[in-house]
Amino acid sequence: MTKKNGNANGDASAGEIDLPDIAVDPIVAAVQAEIEKNDPPPKGVLLDIGATGYIDLTSIDMLDEMIRELNRQSILVLLAHVHGHVRDQLRQAGLFGDVGAENIVPTLAAGVRRFEMLQARLGPAEHPPASESALS
């Protein structure tokens, strides 16, 4: 797993974490460990799902729980490169609603731009819940 700090401007308030084709359990632990290393914690996490060609129900459940926990911690979750079977499975499981369809982006650059737009709109101390419809 690769973690890249910062966004296109070098701002460390958002992180990018690649999500390879492995069980989600280690990913949940790795994401939480990365969050705990940062003080203050990041305001957003951008997960790159592009390397994931298949996702089963157990992995979807773990990913859903991780997203809910991050939202409880006021950390916005964005998903990038969600394609094909994985996109269909996540949509069918209701994850698009948990993340917010507007936070499912085609590229990492689009995810960074989305996060920056939300920060500019709301200010650096706030972030919206994923389900808030006024964001789109």
How would you write 22-52 as a 3-class SS string?
CCHHHHHHHHHHHHHHCCCCCCEEEEECCCC
CATH of the domain at 36: 3.30.750.24
The residues, ordered by sequence, that sit 6+ positions from 61 with a Cβ below 8 Å of its Cβ are: none
| pLDDT for residue 130 is more than 60 | no
pTM reported for the whole predicted model: 0.70
Q: pLDDT band at 25, cuts 50/70/90? A: confident
- Per the structure, how many domains does the chain have? 1
Q: Range of 10's domain?
A: 3-135
Please tell me the predicted confidence (pLDDT) of residue 9. 41
